[in-house]
Chain A
Amino acid sequence: MNLLYKNKQITGILTVIPDNEISFDDEMDNYNFTKTQSMRLKTVMGYGKHCIVAESTCVSDLCVYGLSYLFDNNLLKKDEIDALILVTQSPDHFVPPTSFIIQGRLELKKDLYCIDINQGCTGYLIGLMQAFSLLDQDTIKKVVLLNADVLSRKVSKKDRNSFPIIGDGAAITIVERNSVENTIHANLFTDGSRSGALVIPAGGFRMPSSPETALLEEDDHGNLRSKDHLCMNGTEVFNFVQTEVPVMIDELIELAGTTMEDVDYFMFHQPNRFMLQKLADKMKVPHEKMPNNVVENFGNGSSITIPTAITFNLADELCNKLFTMCLAGFGVGLTWSSMIIDIGNLNFCKMIKYQEEN
């Protein structure tokens, strides 16, 4: 599906990353593999360290912390927020939606448009699309897009496939109308028939959590996880990305009437360095134009990887310059989506650390 948005812009990006940083080397003993095998994995995949929350920290904690930072530093005013979109796969509760918990904790205005969206890897783009659509309302001038997850709490510590790469955090993106005319092109694809590649089997209503679903089971590769934990099929996801994403980007470039050379940065979702390098090679994009350093420094925080890549790699530059960026998300659903958007001249673009309270 092709989508078109007019006269919209991002005016600020803040990422909130837990200060609890653990290196791959320190967690190696948890896995069912020899040290040699684990070190080989570390080198090939490009693992380093990841930042994860304490067992009790929730998405609303990260979002409230980040929004409070913006209020305290006069980067955002409470009463200017007309809509709050929260994209998360790890809400505080099933009921009520976590965007309402955030509204309540921060005492935001009573007619605020609040909505939770359940999305992961493609969640930054899905959230932006929602924000752009809402801004067509005369009464909605400033949208706060929150992307946040605490998925490390749903990944088995003995799952070498997923635990080294998982990251937690939140991203806050301010989206407004643009007084200068512009056009944003995007495309979106979905395939629920392949949804099994990325699942948390138990905990919903199809398979409620129970003592049985909490039991650790060993998979064909020696990883231990329960049905309450995230389960990701690495090779299936790799093939999906390599097959679908280059085609999607080619179509988007043609739709937008531009060229690959005119794109300054390909800010893609970061599954891990290995996959992004292979993707860049396939698309013939120089590695410098497709940053791939998020997972080795912070982990894969689902829908926050794109804003994390932006705030980690381009913080100061984006406050003074404008870049043509191609964003892309791909993963859970399965969904894959891309967007060409000029981002820059931001009011703020930074990363802050979340300090766990005692």
Chain B
Amino acid sequence: MEELYTRLAEIMDVASVSGTDKFEDFEMWDSLSKLATVAMLDASFGVTVSGKELGDLILISELESLIQNKKKA
């Protein structure tokens, strides 16, 4: 899942992102970043995540779990 963290860092325009970080702590976590993330999840992981599902997440690690759950389904 290293790719997830690399891509999130690109979207948030920061050096790196870790699982224990909270989405809301990032200055760049706005509606555009959310759309870019949804697009990235579709292109890089082949999963569809809605704006609401993304908005409900608190920790970055929760996104990793969400992706894994969707892939199993």
Residues on B close to A: CB < 8 A? 28, 30-32, 34-36, 38-39, 42-43, 48-51, 54-55
Enumerate chain B residues within 8 angstroms of A161, measured Cβ to Cβ.
31
20 contacting pairs across A/B (C-beta < 8 A): A33-B30, A37-B30, A40-B32, A45-B32, A220-B55, A222-B30, A233-B51, A234-B31, A235-B34, A235-B38, A238-B39, A239-B42, A239-B49, A239-B50, A242-B39, A242-B42, A274-B39, A278-B43, A282-B42, A282-B43
Q: Is the CB of A234 within 8 A of B43?
A: no
The answer to whether A243 has its CB under 8 Å from any CB of chain B is: yes
Given A161-B31, A234-B31: A44 and B36 interface contact (C-beta under 8 Å): yes
Indicate which residue in A222, A236, A243, A282 contacts B51 across the interface (CB closer than 8 Å).
A236
Write the nearest CB–CB distance from A9 to chain B, whole angstroms: 37
Cα-based distance from A213 to B24 in the complex (angstroms) = 32
Cα-based distance from A282 to B28 in the complex (angstroms) = 26
Enumerate chain B residues within 8 angstroms of A44, measured Cβ to Cβ.
32, 36
Enumerate chain A residues within 8 angstroms of B42, measured Cβ to Cβ.
239, 242, 278, 282
Query: Do most interface residues of chain B lie in helix, strand or loop, or is the interface mixed?
Result: helix
What interface size band does chain A fall in? 20 to 34
Given A37-B30, A40-B32, A161-B31: A278 and B39 interface contact (C-beta under 8 Å): yes
Task: Kindly supply a per-residue 1/0 record for chain A positions 39-81, scoring 1 wherever the CB is within 8 Å of any chain B CB and 0 otherwise.
Answer: 0110011000000000000000000000000000000000000
Nearest neighbor of A43 in chain B, beta-carbon distance: B32
Nearest neighbor of A41 in chain B, beta-carbon distance: B32
Cα-based distance from A85 to B31 in the complex (angstroms) = 38
Cα-based distance from A222 to B35 in the complex (angstroms) = 15
Nearest neighbor of A275 in chain B, beta-carbon distance: B39
Q: Is the CB of B51 within 8 A of A37?
A: no
Cα-based distance from A233 to B34 in the complex (angstroms) = 12
Enumerate chain A residues within 8 angstroms of B38, measured Cβ to Cβ.
235, 238-239
The answer to whether A221 has its CB under 8 Å from any CB of chain B is: yes
Task: Kindly supply a per-residue 1/0 record for chain A positions 233-276, scoring 1 wherever the CB is within 8 Å of any chain B CB and 0 otherwise.
Answer: 11110110011000000000000000000000000000000100
Nearest neighbor of A33 in chain B, beta-carbon distance: B30
Q: Is the CB of A281 within 8 A of B30?
A: no
* Closest 8 pairs between A and B when the two form their complex, measured CB to CB: A235-B51, A221-B31, A235-B38, A41-B32, A242-B42, A239-B48, A278-B39, A235-B35
